[in-house]
Structure 1
Amino acid sequence: MLLRFRVANHRSIRDEQTLSLVAVPRRGESGELGTVRVAGIYGANASGKSNVLSALMWMISAIRSSHTQWEPVGGVPRQPFKLSEAGRTAASFFELDFLHEEQRYSYGFEVDDTHVLGEWLYAFPHGRKKKLFERSGVDDITFGRALTGENQRIRRLTRPNSLYLSAAASNNHHLLGALYAALIGKVMFAQHGEEDEKLRLHLTKFLLNETDFAPALNKLLQLADLGVERAEIMERPNDPMLDEFAGPSPDDLADSSSEAALRALRARVVLRRSSGGVSLSLEEESAGTRAWLSLLGHALLSLRGDGVLVTDEIDSSLHPLLSSSLIRMFKDPLINKRRAQLIFASHDTTLLGSMLEDEIMARDEVWFTEKDDSGSTSLYSLAEFHPRRDENVERGYLQGRYGAVPYLNFDSIREVFREGSGATSEPQA
Structure 2
Amino acid sequence: MLLRFRVANHRSIRDEQTLSLVSVPRRGERPKELSTVRVAGIYGANASGKSNVLSALKWMQFAISDSHQLWSPSKGVPRDPFRLPSGESSSPSFCELDFLHDGIRYSYGFEVDDRRILGEWLNTFPKGRTKKLFDRTGPTSITFGRSLVGETQRILKLTRPNSLYLSAAAANNHPLLTTLYNRIRDSIFFAQHGDHDERSRLFLVKELLNDESVASIINRLVRIADLGVEAAEIFNAVPTREEILRQMADLGQGATGSSSGSSSRTDIRLRRTSGAVLELSEESAGTRVWLSLLGHSLAAIASGGTLVADEIDSHLHPLLSSTLIRIFKDPVINKMGAQLVFASHDTTLLGSMLEEEVIDRDEVWFTEKDSSGATSLYSLAEFHPRRDENIERGYLQGRYGAVPYINFDSIREVFTKGPDETL
TM-score class, shorter: over 0.9
- The match for 1:312 is 310
Asked if the contact 2:93/2:112 (under 8 Å) is kept, the reply is yes
Asked if the contact 1:43/1:370 (under 8 Å) is kept, the reply is yes
Are residues 105 and 246 of structure 1, via their aligned partners in 2, closer, same or farther at CA, if it must alter by over 3 Å?
farther
- The match for 1:302 is 300
Asked if the contact 2:17/2:376 (under 8 Å) is kept, the reply is yes
Matches within 5 A, 1:2-401: 2-33=2-33, 34-84=35-85, 88-236=89-237, 266-275=265-274, 277-401=275-399
CA distance in 1, matches of 2:238, 2:83: 49
- The match for 1:252 is none
- The match for 1:256 is none
Q: What's the offset of the Cα at 1:29?
A: 1.6
CA distance in 1, matches of 2:79, 2:419: 46
Q: What TM-score do the two structures reach when normalised by structure 1?
A: 0.91
Letter in 2 for 1:298: H
Asked if the contact 1:83/1:375 (under 8 Å) is kept, the reply is no
Letter in 1 for 2:276: V
Identity of aligned residues (%): 68
Q: Residue 344 of structure 1: SS of its match in structure 2? A: strand
Letter in 2 for 1:273: R
Q: What's the offset of the Cα at 1:86?
A: 10
Letter in 1 for 2:118: L
Letter in 2 for 1:79: D
Q: Residue 297 of structure 2: SS of its match in structure 1? A: helix
Q: Which runs of 5+ in 1 are unaligned?
A: 248-264, 423-429
Q: What's the offset of the Cα at 1:137?
A: 1.1
Asked if the contact 1:106/1:122 (under 8 Å) is kept, the reply is yes
CA distance in 2, matches of 1:230, 1:180: 37
Q: What's the offset of the Cα at 1:246?
A: 11
Q: Residue 403 of structure 2: SS of its match in structure 1? A: coil
Asked if the contact 2:84/2:90 (under 8 Å) is kept, the reply is no
Using the TM superposition, name which of 266-275 and 281-290 deviates more: 266-275
CA distance in 2, matches of 1:17, 1:222: 40
Q: After TM superposition, what 4+ stretches of structure 1 lie above 6 angstroms from structure 2?
A: 244-247
What is the root-mean-square deviation in Å for CA atoms of aligned residues?
A: 2.1
- The match for 2:261 is none
CA distance in 2, matches of 1:85, 1:299: 42
CA distance in 2, matches of 1:311, 1:83: 29
Q: Residue 213 of structure 1: SS of its match in structure 2? A: helix
Using the TM superposition, name which of 218-227 and 28-37 deviates more: 28-37
CA distance in 2, matches of 1:2, 1:112: 26
CA distance in 1, matches of 2:248, 2:357: 44
Q: Residue 235 of structure 1: SS of its match in structure 2? A: strand
CA distance in 2, matches of 1:376, 1:218: 44
Q: Which runs of 5+ in 2 are unaligned?
A: 251-263
Q: What's the offset of the Cα at 1:209?
A: 0.6
Q: What TM-score do the two structures reach when normalised by structure 2?
A: 0.92
Q: What's the offset of the Cα at 1:30?
A: 1.3
Q: Residue 4 of structure 1: SS of its match in structure 2? A: strand
CA distance in 2, matches of 1:24, 1:5: 16
CA distance in 1, matches of 2:248, 2:9: 35
Q: What's the offset of the Cα at 1:212?
A: 3.3
Q: How many residues were matched structurally?
A: 403
Residues 17-45 of structure 1: CA distance to partner in whole angstroms, max 9, x if unpaired?
A: 00000000112221524100000000000
Q: What's the offset of the Cα at 1:237?
A: 7.1
Q: Residue 50 of structure 1: SS of its match in structure 2? A: helix
Q: Residue 89 of structure 1: SS of its match in structure 2? A: coil
- The match for 1:426 is none
Q: What's the offset of the Cα at 1:351?
A: 0.4
Q: Residue 213 of structure 2: SS of its match in structure 1? A: coil
